[in-house]
Amino acid sequence: MVQGIGQDAGAALLSGRCAIVAMPGLPLGRALARGLRRHGARVVEVDVAPGSCADAEKALGHAAREAGGADLFVHAGATPAALASRQLEVLSGEEWHSAVHRSMLASLYFLQGVYRQQHEAGGATVLVGPSVALVGAAGLVPLITLAEAQRTLVKSAARQWGRHGMRLNWVGIGAQRYAGSLAGAALPPTPELGPPPPALGRVPDAESDVADVIAWLGSEGARGVTGASFNLDGGDWMVP
């Protein structure tokens, strides 16, 4: 369930802080864990998707004990069915359940588990999703629906749990960084900017660029930020 702890003595943003990365089935988690270690965090990776609130509490509680705390949680969740391209008009109820409902429940259970860990001392949580969710993608309706639902869940939880000192934010990244299987998906072109590359000329790297922002969100410097959406796709989708 847990896959090691590391720390970079020269880092500062998360020095002395504990981070738990829960992204079962997504290689993205490994890259972000390496990036957070570079910022000084003690990191534990959780590779099991919870099937209940009790599962989440057990997994995250074990990870927090392994890390020595629960200052920062980072989560992304999508079943393989959610990452598959398919046409909306032929989606069955079972396919929708597998792609959207199961993934959303896992994220709900994850946040409930986070609450058990942070409601007394506070802390930061970041959910990561594909930035294309902000504009839609014709062949990825289940994934887009899931990602927007997760983003809305983050905003509502941020309002409800802020009184406990808990801060929750959403980070959107390029689809090809979120999951390698989306590299060949029929993603919409950016109308005002033309085809890729994005405005910065590159897709931000997960281990460096994305981890840097998540590290800041988990640091004392972001103590006034909650319920926000950060778009880290290099300027592909410039939306408010």
Give residue 184's pLDDT.
Answer: 63
Query: CATH number of the domain at 18-232, please?
Result: 3.40.50.720
Q: How confident is the model at residue 221 (pLDDT cuts 50, 70, 90)?
A: very high
Task: Give the residue from 16, 231, 22 showing the smallest Cα distance to 131.
Answer: 231
Give residue 195's pLDDT.
Answer: 61
Report yes or no: 129 and 136 within 8 Å, Cβ to Cβ.
no
- Cβ atoms within 10 Å, residue 173: 28
Give residue 32's pLDDT.
Answer: 97
pLDDT in tens, 14-65: 999 999 999 998 999 999 999 999 999 999 999 989 999 999 999 999 999 9
pTM: 0.90
Mean pLDDT of 79-101: 90
Token pair in block for residue 87: 């046409």
Average model confidence (pLDDT) across the chain: 89
Evaluate if residue 10 carries a pLDDT over 70: no
Give residue 177's pLDDT.
Answer: 85
HSE, side-chain direction, 13 A CA sphere, residue 200: 14
Evaluate if residue 7 carries a pLDDT over 50: no
Task: Give the residue from 86, 88, 75, 11 showing the smallest Cα distance to 42.
Answer: 11
Evaluate if residue 124 carries a pLDDT over 90: yes
End-to-end CA distance of the chain: 37
Mean pLDDT of 81-88: 87
Q: Residue 124 in 3-state DSSP? A: strand
Pick 110 or 236 by higher pLDDT.
Answer: 110
**DSSP type of residue 44:** E
Evaluate if residue 139 carries a pLDDT over 90: no
